[in-house]
Amino acid sequence: MHAISDQYLHYVEFVRRRDGMIHAMDGGLWLHRHLWKGREMAHLVSTDRERLLAYGRRVGLPSERLQFKALKDPRTSERREAWHWDLVGRFLPPKK
């Protein structure tokens, strides 16, 4: 197995949700923070399932926790296959 570069697993946060969705639709890793029942969490979203799985292996997330959810591409309004990790607790990256 070859080494995976840190750049490949780099996620990006966006001020505008639309920009994040476009990044995810293009196969990038989009980190979307929010509150769930008063608790900080984030979704790490992409249309690149293998990239998300590689991130999960890097940080110790079990692959069966990766979730599928088709999302609407904001550029075309077409639904596309996408996946996300729910990141909470020790898996939630610190704010930059």
Q: Is 9 exposed, middle or buried (0-12, 13-18, 19+ CB in 10 A)?
A: middle
pLDDT of res. 2:
52
Asked if 42 contacts 93 with a C-beta cutoff of 8 angstroms, the reply is yes
Helices (H), 7-48: 17-25
Q: Residue 51 falls within a domain, yes or no? A: yes
> Residue 55 belongs to what H/E stretch?
helix 49-59
pLDDT of res. 9:
85
Q: Residue 17 falls within a domain, yes or no? A: yes
Category of 85 on φ-ψ map: left (φ > 0), alpha (ψ -120 to 50) or beta: beta
Reported as a pLDDT band with limits 50, 70 and 90, residue 83 is: very high
pLDDT tens digit string along 36-66?
888 999 999 999 999 999 999 999 999 999 9
Q: Residue 39 falls within a domain, yes or no? A: yes
Q: Residue 6 falls within a domain, yes or no? A: no
The sign one gets for the Cα dihedral 17, 19, 25, 31 is: negative
User: What pTM does this model have?
Assistant: 0.90
Q: Which domain holds residue 31?
A: 11-89
Number of domains in the chain: 1
Q: Residue 78 falls within a domain, yes or no? A: yes
Q: Residue 96 falls within a domain, yes or no? A: no
Q: Residue 2 falls within a domain, yes or no? A: no
Q: Residue 18 falls within a domain, yes or no? A: yes
Q: What is the mean pLDDT of residues 9-13?
A: 93
pLDDT of res. 50:
96
pLDDT of res. 76:
96
